[in-house]
């Protein structure tokens, strides 16, 4: 499988790279820490610059702020942003909610929200997981009861990335508790400034405030914020997840980390001289590089399928599994090569590569879990991709 980029696509990658050269701080290695105000300010600055250039949602229709470009342009954009570990990419709004609204939303919802996303004016977050509902998402219990023209929401969401920075949330709620679990769920759009919403920070083991628990206490949301039909939220929500899983970020992060690691092995004078020619090291790095390229091609395949009008399901799951697993393996091997100095915290005088590999590895633990665990992804691949039956219940 070989994807050849058009002259327009190659030129766009060069323009985006040049833009990032100008706006990222000198010697920027990333990734951004969203709990730091200076990093969040940089995120907003870059987001505005991207939106002003029309790069934020290129594949969207022009009437919603896009340029009617191919999904491959969006993939190139996402890959370059991740490869540079650059902030400024609202994945929740541009990659997940926007395409879902175009498919299931009303024209009023599209007019109200898509333009603001395209202009980089609003930050979205996703309310799916709950304290007792993760992989088994259909067991969610956050209730939304219709009261006239409003839904009244009570419950809690957890692991909500960027809830502390977000203006809006799209969330799954239970609107019919008396039917089958998958059939009593709806998707709502919620203003995070609505009374009754409390955001509680969760500091992850990398020391970063990215996750949150969000508590809803009699939160009143207009009925007009229902996306799709009442009690049809499972179908709508799974479409969101298919768009989320079809990202190339992990493969790009793995490629950037691999290049850092190879450069370190090749050039660092503090290494034992034989490590550069050690056949085990050479074989391991070559194998990881091959796996990275395979994951990258799976992501290009997803973009190509989207360009054919498909909503990839098992293919998106394949790219998610491949990307998250190879990224974790690259970081694990990097820490093995860096040795004890590689696990020193950033800021330590003797920390190798400024402690980045440790921070990235701690944060990457969430990759095989979020957006549906990789075990769930393999079930999807088996059932939807290979046509295999469900395993019998024990």
CA 62 distance to own-chain centroid: 24
Select which of 130, 244, 315, 352 is catalytic.
244
| Token code pair at residue 356 | 């980045």
| Token code pair at residue 373 | 């665990």
Q: Give the integer Cα–Cα distance in Å for 176 and 199.
A: 26
- Mention every residue, 6+ apart, whose C-beta is less than 8 A from residue 232: 186
Secondary structure tally for the chain: helices H, strands E: 12, 8
Our answer to whether residue 244 is catalytic in this structure is yes
Q: Give the integer Cα–Cα distance in Å for 391 and 385.
A: 15
Q: Where are the beta strands (DSSP E) in the chain?
A: 124-127, 143-147, 150-157, 168-174, 185-191, 197-203, 209-222, 226-227
- Mention every residue, 6+ apart, whose C-beta is less than 8 A from residue 31: 85, 87, 359, 360, 363
| Token code pair at residue 80 | 């370059």
Q: What is the per-residue DSSP string for 267-310? A: H-TTS-GGGGT-HHHHHHHHHHHHHHHHHHHHHHHHHHHHHTT-
Q: Are 141 and 174 in contact (CB under 8 A)?
A: yes
Q: What is the per-residue DSSP string for 144-185? A: EEEETTEEEEEEEE-S-TTTTT-SEEEEEEES-TTS-GGGSE
Token pair 């969207």 is at which residue?
60
Q: What is the per-residue DSSP string for 235-256? A: HHHHHHHHHHHT--HHHHHHHH
Give catalytic residues, as residue numbers: 244
């Amino acid at each position: 499988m070989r994807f050849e980029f058009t002259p327009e696509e190659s030129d766009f990658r060069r323009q985006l790279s040049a833009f990032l050269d100008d706006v990222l701080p000198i010697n920027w290695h990333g990734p951004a820490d969203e709990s730091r105000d200076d990093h969040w300010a940089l995120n907003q600055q870059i987001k505005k610059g991207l939106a002003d250039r029309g790069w934020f949602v290129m594949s969207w229709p022009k009437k919603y702020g896009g340029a009617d470009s191919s999904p491959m342009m969006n993939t190139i954009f996402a890959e370059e942003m991740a490869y540079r570990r650059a902030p400024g990419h609202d994945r929740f709004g541009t990659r997940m909610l926007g395409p879902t609204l175009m498919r299931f939303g009303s024209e009023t919802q599209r007019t109200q929200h898509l333009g603001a996303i395209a202009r980089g004016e609003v930050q979205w977050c996703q309310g799916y997981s709950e304290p007792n509902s993760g992989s088994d998402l259909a067991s969610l219990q956050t209730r939304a009861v219709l009261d006239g023209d409003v839904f009244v929401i009570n419950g809690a969401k957890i692991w909500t990335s960027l809830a502390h920075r977000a203006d809006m949330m799209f969330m799954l709620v239970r609107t019919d508790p008396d039917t089958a679990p998958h059939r009593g769920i709806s998707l709502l759009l919620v203003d995070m400034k609505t009374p009754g919403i409390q955001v509680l920070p969760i500091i992850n083991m990398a020391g970063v405030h990215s996750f949150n628990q969000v508590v809803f206490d009699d939160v009143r949301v207009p009925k007009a914020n229902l996306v799709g039909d009442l009690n049809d939220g499972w179908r709508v929500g799974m479409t969101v997840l298919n768009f989320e899983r079809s990202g190339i970020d992990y493969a790009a992060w793995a490629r950037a980390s691999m290049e850092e690691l190879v450069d370190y092995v090749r050039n660092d004078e503090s290494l034992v001289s034989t490590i550069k020619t050690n056949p085990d090291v050479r074989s391991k790095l070559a194998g990881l590089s091959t796996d990275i390229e395979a994951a990258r091609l799976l992501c290009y395949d997803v973009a190509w399928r989207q360009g054919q009008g498909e909503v990839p399901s098992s293919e998106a799951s394949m790219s998610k599994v491949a990307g998250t697993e190879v990224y974790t393996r690259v970081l694990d091997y990097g820490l093995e090569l860096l040795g004890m100095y590689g696990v020193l915290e950033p800021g330590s005088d003797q920390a190798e590569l400024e402690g980045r590999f440790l921070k990235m590895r701690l944060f990457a633990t969430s990759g095989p879990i979020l957006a549906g665990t990789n075990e769930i992804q393999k079930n999807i691949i088996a059932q939807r991709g290979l046509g295999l039956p469900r395993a019998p219940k024990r």
